Structure 1
């Protein structure tokens, strides 16, 4: 009797015996539970506060003080632009956190797939749960 495919989308295939994600395969019999965890965003919010304050301080200094060599030569933009990009990166990570599909096996918890969209992982998790249930019948 061959494998029966229960779910297939992109690089994820769930059958009644294996879960294939990219180039990795996991035996369904060795998966104890499936979980979706959310990335912690505390560091991103701290980064927003820190880089935002730094950006405000640099802009305040550069554009409110009398024009000196730093501002007139354009060197201040070598500070403002990178700090602004770091601020934007922290903002994206805080607003759209990553979600991880986790497998609990007898040895450890493993992050096997990540996405910024919870619903993508929800459908994969459901398919794996259905495969586990069908194996137990």
Structure 2
């Protein structure tokens, strides 16, 4: 695995694929989360990410254990309105990008510097601009 530099303190956000990789014990994702914690970074996910990442074969005990170590950020009316504004600014439609927009919105509110583990580099770049460092999975 190539060494990925993380800041001291700040926040690491996992999108759906980041959470899925962590749930499946992917070596790269586990190492990145461990390194983030070692550096004092908080590891967070959007509440909608839980819904997006879970499927019929998800190990419920593993899910519960992994989630117990993450801060899950809720999405309410304020976040929904802000995510809608992000969609409009990026020229994207909520039907396809609603969850990405909610994840981007909660990401932009986290303690800086912010790093996001994502499989959607292009979409997240449109939504977050250069305010978040994106790491591909």
Shared fold (TM-score, shorter chain, > 0.5):
no
Structure with greater strand share of residues: 1
The TM-score, its normalising length taken from structure 2, stands at: 0.24
Structure of greater Rg: 1
The TM-score, its normalising length taken from structure 1, stands at: 0.24
